Amino acid sequence: MARPKAAFFDFSCCEGCQLQIANFGESLLDILNVIEVVEFREIMSEKYDGTLDVAIIEGSINTPRAVERIKAIRARSKTLVAIGACATTGGVNGIKNVFPLDEIAGYVYGGNFRDYETIQTMAVHQVVRVDYFVHGCPIYPPEFVAVLKALLMAIPYDVPDYPVCVECKLNGNVCMYDRGVSCLGPVTRAGCNSWCINNDNICYGCRGMVSNPNETGAIDVIKQYGLSIERIVNKLEMYNKCRELNPHG
Amino acid sequence: MGENIKINIQHLTRVEGHGNIVVDLKDGAIIKCNLEIVEAPRFFEGMLRGRSIFEAQHLTSRICGICACGHTLASIQAAEDALGLTPSDQTIKLRKLLLHMELLDSHILHIYLLALPDLLGVRSFMPLIATHNDVVRRALRLKKACNDVCNILVGRHVHPIRATIGGFTKLPSENDLDTMLNNLSNLHEDLDETVELISKLQFPQFQRDSQYVALVSDDGEYPLLSGDVGSTRGVRINKSEYKKITNEYMVPHSSAKFTNLNGEPYAVGALARLNMNCRKLHSKAVEAAKKLNLSNGGNNPFLNTAAQTVECVHCLNDAIGILEALKTSGIDYKEEILVGANETSAIAVKAGRGVGAVEVPRGVLFHAYEIDEEGRILNADIIVPTSQNIANIEGDMRAIIPGIKHKSEEEITLALEMLVRAYDPCISCSAHFLDVRFVD
Ligand code: SF4
Ligand code: SF4
Ligand code: SF4
């Protein structure tokens, strides 16, 4: 069987998620044995404009040009995978949406922002259909491999819809609330093996929110510890601002 | 091609981020010679306003995946400067180790995956998997080792988790120190072979008397995480006055701000650092520099890739030295800090202004923040190496064109692409605040 043709495309992002893949080391060569990478601008000069079996998308959509580009990629791709928070939730790029567009452009651009073309930051699925999601900022490599396997077998990959706390407890961490600081673990979807808390930091919510935070008891936890909801909401803006554009996203 | 040349390279490949090269030569005169930054806007400085200074590291790390640790360190340095916090010796050692890993990792990526294909006459590293399998494997092995060390030291390389204002949330165990030391000690041979490989390559011959800027200091250490800012034209100023160096200005064809010092563009990066500080390199790196004809630095921008190779040797050996020293002194775990958004008020907050200046893989990086008495960010200013290099790259392009204009379009294109790639531009970084119009 011919290896499926795959291409990587980057939109507005830090390119850290593709680096996570480059950091697989020599096992990257094993991945390249199962898929044929035909385009990857960051590391290849080769170009390909035929039909793709797999398009792997990194980054958020935030210019009219990007909207056109992602639509064209979707049209020639059988399967589309969004990798990283920028692509799956809008990620930190969404913070821009907190500010009125011309105000923020004016701040960074001085008097020259008139020619500036920008639109609100959007996650990829807010523009085109996405078949697989790999959440996180950056992506968690074992999950990327799991998604790749599912994709090659043409079966769906179910993103965990329970909070990071579940993984965190299994890992035996002392809860950050017990240490006096707030953590977004209770409202954030698991799948990263509670990466940040294992390193004695808090969860910043980079994988996006579980679909029904009220039912998971998150708000109860926050109240139980007497923490300020305002502070939590402010922190949630770091990765979850784009949700407001599309409450079902 | 001759006296009339039109070159328009859209979305330059094998660089970080999106950039175009546009050259227009009419009757031998250069009408246009631009490196355009066309990366989509991300507005980091704008986004930081109103957020807690304790979130600045987390957010600014996301400017760039490749130099995530560099942005982290510059951000923390600026924040600590604003808060009036002095890091401990142990923290400084661990931060230096982290910075060494960043330089090594990023240089390896550039040398092997981005620059080497040009020097071997192929379009990417993909064909090298078949023709130079051992070389590709070595590159991936080196990268993986840096990544493994970062996983231990800060949780992960792309967007470090443990490095924060005040120090580290979690410190490496004794066992961790041994593992890191072991990982790094295994790399000597691979790096020797890297030096050997680079020494055999033919770099294009081209010289230009550019001004070079890097951190400088009076002690014997190759300055990466501290020092003043100096230039090869004799300028030296404190980092708090970084704006006197960068003098940012805008041009219509690009989104990145341009910089100049005393009315002249300047270059930053590995070659600039070698030009300013080569006598302070680790002795093993001095040997490598000799082998690569860079004992006194040089002014052929194509050799930036070779200068990165020299720095790889320096960073590896110095990192091993740091780890050995930490093993001897032992780690003081009382220094572990719990920060989050500083809800426990572990760190005293006051209004202030602070600047961070750190040598990241592509050159000196500045972060500057102004905060209010509650630690909220009022203003943020970030000047990345690539923004500082663009004016100099265009200067090089202008200087190189007369010597190559008789060649075929393909050859001219390749020469210009190679020149730009030699600077290892990080366009994701330089577009952290602006977008450009496409020039048609
Ligand atoms: S999700 Fe995070 S790591 Fe990935 S590209 Fe976006 S900012 Fe970078
Ligand atoms: S709140 Fe945070 S620290 Fe506590 S269990 Fe949940 S994820 Fe872990
Ligand atoms: S712990 Fe939270 S912030 Fe950290 S990787 Fe997991 S979801 Fe993201």
Higher pLDDT pick, A4 / B247: A4
The reply to whether residue B13 touches residue A42, judged by beta carbons under 8 angstroms, is: yes
- Name which residue sits closest to atom 4 of ligand 2, judged by CA: A175
- For residue B55, list chain A residues with Cβ-Cβ distance below 8 A: 238
Q: Which residues line ligand 3 (CB under 6 A)?
A: A 136, 164, 188, 192, 194-197, 203-207
Cβ atoms within 10 Å of A157's Cβ, excluding its own: 17
**How close is the Cα of A168 to the center of ligand 2, in Å?**
6
- Name which residue sits closest to atom 8 of ligand 3, judged by CA: A206
The DSSP H or E segment spanning B194 is: helix B188-199
What's the 3-state SS for B127-186? HHHHHCHHHHHHHHHHHHHHHHHHHHHHCCCCCCCCEECCEECCCCCHHHHHHHHHHHHC
State the maximum Cα–Cα separation within chain A, in Å, rounded to a whole number. 59
| Minimum Cα–Cα distance from A141: chain B residue | B156
The pLDDT, as a whole number, for residue B161 is: 97
CB of B16 within 8 Å of a chain A CB? The answer is yes
Report DSSP state, residue B114: I
In the predicted model, is pLDDT for residue A91 greater than 60? yes
Chain A contact probe: residue of B55, B76, B126, B253 with most A CBs at under 10 A: B126
Q: What does the buried/exposed string (b/e) look like for A109-129 if buried means 16 or more CB atoms within 10 Å of the residue's CB?
A: beeebeebebebbbbbbbbbe
The pLDDT, as a whole number, for residue B372 is: 95
Which mutation among A171, A174, A179, A183 tests ligand 2's pocket best, with the greatest number of atoms within 8 A of CB? A183
A·B CB contacts under 8 A: 190
Task: State yes or no: cis peptide before B87, omega within 30 of 0.
Answer: no
The reply to whether residue B47 touches residue A66, judged by beta carbons under 8 angstroms, is: no
CB of B280 within 8 Å of a chain A CB? The answer is no
Q: How far apart are CA B4 and CA B439, in angstroms?
A: 19
pLDDT, one tens digit per residue, over B312-325 is 999 999 999 999 99
Distance from A96 to chain B by nearest Cα, in Å? 6
| Minimum Cα–Cα distance from B123: chain A residue | A45
The reply to whether residue A22 touches residue B113, judged by beta carbons under 8 angstroms, is: yes
Q: How far apart are CA A132 and CA B85, in angstroms?
A: 45
List Cα–Cα distances, A28 to A32, A36, A143, B289, in angstroms: 6, 12, 15, 31
pLDDT, one tens digit per residue, over A188-230 is 999 999 999 999 999 999 999 888 766 556 666 666 666 666 6
Closest Cβ opposite residue A63 in set B40, B159, B250? B40
Of chain B residues 116-175, which have a CB less than 8 A from chain A? 117, 123-126, 129, 136-137, 140-141, 143-144, 147, 154-159, 161-162, 164, 169-170
Question: Which two tokens mark B176?
Answer: 């961790």
CATH topology of domain A5-152: Rossmann fold (3.40.50)
pLDDT, one tens digit per residue, over B196-234 is 999 999 888 899 999 999 999 999 999 999 999 999 988
| Minimum Cα–Cα distance from A197: chain B residue | B161
**How close is the Cα of A198 to the center of ligand 3, in Å?**
10
Instruction: Note the pTM of the prediction, 2 decimals.
Output: 0.91
Mean pLDDT of A46-75: 92
Q: How far apart are CA A241 and CA A248, in angstroms?
A: 13
Average pLDDT value over all residues in chain A: 84
Bridge partner residues of A81 (DSSP): A56, A132
The pLDDT, as a whole number, for residue A109 is: 55
The pLDDT, as a whole number, for residue B440 is: 27
Residue with tokens 């009022």: B378
**How close is the Cα of B38 to the center of ligand 2, in Å?**
40
CB of B376 within 8 Å of a chain A CB? The answer is no
Q: Please, which residues have CB within 8 angstroms of residue A11's CB and are 6 or more apart in sequence?
A: A57, A58, A59, A60, A61, A62, A66, A69, A70, A86, A87, A124, B40
The reply to whether residue A107 touches residue B65, judged by beta carbons under 8 angstroms, is: no
Distance from A152 to chain B by nearest Cα, in Å? 21
Query: What ipTM was estimated for this complex?
Result: 0.89
CB B109 within 8 A of CB A22: yes
Enumerate residue ranges in chain B where pLDDT < 50. 431-440
The pLDDT, as a whole number, for residue B250 is: 54
Helix-strand-coil split of chain B, %, nearest 5: 50, 15, 35
**How close is the Cα of A206 to the center of ligand 3, in Å?**
5
pLDDT, one tens digit per residue, over A136-190 is 999 999 999 999 999 999 999 999 999 999 999 999 999 998 888 888 898 899 9
A184 lines ligand 2 (CB under 6 A): no
**How close is the Cα of B171 to the center of ligand 3, in Å?**
19
- Name which residue sits closest to atom 2 of ligand 3, judged by CA: A203
A194 lines ligand 2 (CB under 6 A): yes
| Minimum Cα–Cα distance from B50: chain A residue | A234
Q: Which residues line ligand 1 (CB under 6 A)?
A: A 13-17, 58, 84-86, 91-92, 137-138; B 62, 65, 158-159
- For residue A193, list chain B residues with Cβ-Cβ distance below 8 A: none
Domains of chain B: 44-112+143-391 (1.10.645.10)
Beta strands in B249-307 (DSSP E): 266-267
- For residue A43, list chain B residues with Cβ-Cβ distance below 8 A: 14, 113-114, 124-125
Closest Cβ opposite residue B338 in set A25, A138, A181? A181
pLDDT, one tens digit per residue, over B407-419 is 888 888 888 888 8
A176 lines ligand 2 (CB under 6 A): yes
